[in-house]
A and B are shown apart, each in its own frame.
Chain A
């Protein structure tokens, strides 16, 4: 029987409405009590005075690159990076090699996660075989082997007929369908947001309309089929409008996430042909960022994610048009949220934490992301005032390709606890 007392921290547990100084007592990997001046004796005590204690963060959108591209990232390196960012649970995208379009890959991911015993990793399966957008994967098998959702992230299902059947089938299986919304015929060879910056740089643009139209299409199909639809990495004003309207119409089966870079950075980051700022969806212009923040404030957006996409250096040391898409984010997401949303007072810290804990847990239907008595003791402890400059050399992730390199952020994880065990302590992984 092991016990842990986290004493004197500011506890934010959005699901239970907790937002104040309290102790958290953990017994045998579960939350035993949350309250002021707990008298319980513990094997280990963390003095959290001046720190913020929250449920461990849950990231719905991570590319672990394993199996297949272990040169870019592994479950181990990504999990350590997650711990450094206060993330205790992450959803793995299926675009690996081989692609997770069958239960073998899903079971492999779950086994690796169990063996590593660092964070909770939740696999997803591909909607279509080979993510080719044509034939459905064995979706029920994927679900039964442990996939929390199906998605063709990185590709998207282009054909409306295939997507409609996928949604009908997903509803039949009771599985969540997550959509990467992109109309390829409009994106074409686009490598950044289409607008004034792409015109000045002479780079092919990816129009906001490409995302808007796919979001509308997905919403209409979800409303028709009744499938549980989660819209991933929304980045446009049009997406916000479409989702807001759908929710207003009463569509309870639709949820939406925003990757933190999409409310923090604009397409100006691409100036000078900075390939670190190249990603899909692309960093958009200020008017889209304003619309995303409005969507965050009014509840259009349910969750914040990283879309953590590690790459090796040569893939980013190319001409902008040829460089790989994506930015890492596990080690910066809390700080980015805190710096770009909480500090400018767009939302409260509690609201931000909610979109990184209980809300994503609800989306994938797991009993995590809160500090209720008896819940798994997945806990993050942050210093929300700590100022630091992003230095990729200090990343635990293999991917050094952060769009935030050199930026000054506020807020850093001090301790990360998974299942009652301290796994991260002031910069050190305890494995």
Chain B
């Protein structure tokens, strides 16, 4: 028997967003890696995200009737709350799955994800300790999989919000001729994994600085240059991007002490002054004050864009969830069961 669904007329805000969208769709169904994102996708995401940002917490009805499960198999504060609020501000129903659930009882993550998928949810947001879990899960679900960070691999929505923050700062469509310096635990960072891919797409000059113990093999093939002296990397930088030294990922032992790391690579006022006058400081959070970033710079300094990143995160995730769930072209992803 056919079900009867009626659609409410669009509000003025929704009509505005639809005008910005111009009937466009993303080229991908799941987002597991920045490698999937085309320049057109990026343009669409940012057009929509900027407009969503203007409407702050306004509740849009675009995704009404659709559900989302936030499956965070690893603890998270900002990413999980940001995805949850973004979905709710699009009128989605959400549920959360945390790390201490069936996966710990011995169920395979694939079975867990396929179980969630059977709720007929539209999106499953996955954070995993191991690399590749969202990418593999995406092959076996009807729901769109959004990678909220997998192991040391990628954290694509973080890179998307960082890209928006950088482009807005530079008032440009790309980062050509701009210097981005990434400092910190490159090896264990999924933020780096996505950011470096996005920055190459945006044509930025990317410099990385950290002890070699925190630099992965063949990293230069991403088109980045390593600097052992952070001061040399910072000279003439437009963006200074500090990464946390992630002790819970086994990074301990890669540096003698946090004290020495902070002395050699921590972003202080003096070091930030080596960058361009209008350079901005970014950090994906959580900031370990006085280790990655000098405390005085962390949130209050006018050059620090760390809280602006968080705000952009809301807008970018809202844009992504709308575009993924509410497709104009009616196309559906293909998947198999395992």
A residues adjacent to B (C-beta < 8 A): 189, 194-196, 198-199, 201-205, 207, 272-273, 314, 317-322
Contacts and interface: CB of A to CB of B under 8 A. Distances in A.
Interface string B118-145: 0000000000101111011000000000
Nearest to B197: A200
B217 A202 contact: no
Given A319-B109, A319-B133, A205 B217 contact: yes
B331 interface: no
B221 interface: yes
A239 to B, nearest CB: 18
Nearest to B111: A317
Interface in B290-316: none
Interface in B88-126: 108-110
30 contacts: A195-B218, A196-B217, A198-B216, A198-B217, A199-B216, A199-B218, A201-B132, A202-B131, A202-B132, A202-B151, A202-B152, A202-B153, A203-B131, A203-B132, A203-B153, A272-B135, A273-B131, A273-B135, A273-B136, A314-B108, A317-B110, A317-B338, A319-B131, A319-B136, A320-B130, A320-B131, A321-B130, A321-B131, A321-B151, A322-B130
A204 B131 CA distance: 9
Given A201-B132, A202-B150, A318 B217 contact: no
Contact of A199 (B109, B151, B217): B217
Contact of B193 (A189, A194, A202, A314): A202
Contacts of A203: 131-132, 151-153
Contacts of B216: 198-199, 205
A203 B153 CA distance: 7
Given A202-B154, A203-B132, A273-B135, A317 B108 contact: yes
Contacts of B318: none
A201 B153 contact: yes
Contacts of A204: 152
A318 B136 CA distance: 10
Give the size category of B's interface with A.
20 to 34
Contacts of B338: 317
A193 B132 CA distance: 16
Residue with the highest number of chain A CB atoms closer than 10 Å, among B218, B250, B338: B218
A255 B151 CA distance: 40
Contacts of A207: 217
Interface in B143-171: 150-154
Contacts of B219: 199
A198 to B, nearest CB: 7
Contacts of B283: none
A174 B235 CA distance: 66
B207 interface: no
Nearest to B128: A319
Nearest to A189: B250
Q: In the A-B complex, list the 10 residue pairs whose CB atoms are closest, starting with the nearest.
A: A202-B153, A273-B132, A319-B130, A202-B152, A196-B218, A202-B131, A199-B216, A321-B130, A194-B217, A320-B132
A255 B145 CA distance: 50
Contacts of B151: 202-203, 321
A204 B128 CA distance: 15
Contacts of B109: 318-319
B111 to A, nearest CB: 9
B217 to A, nearest CB: 5
A344 B109 CA distance: 42
A162 B193 CA distance: 42
Contacts of B250: 189
Contacts of B150: 202
Contacts of B131: 201-203, 273, 319-321
Contacts of A319: 109, 128, 130-133, 136
A198 B136 CA distance: 16
A80 B152 CA distance: 42
Interface in B217-242: 217-219, 221-222
Contacts of A199: 216-219, 221-222
A128 B136 CA distance: 39
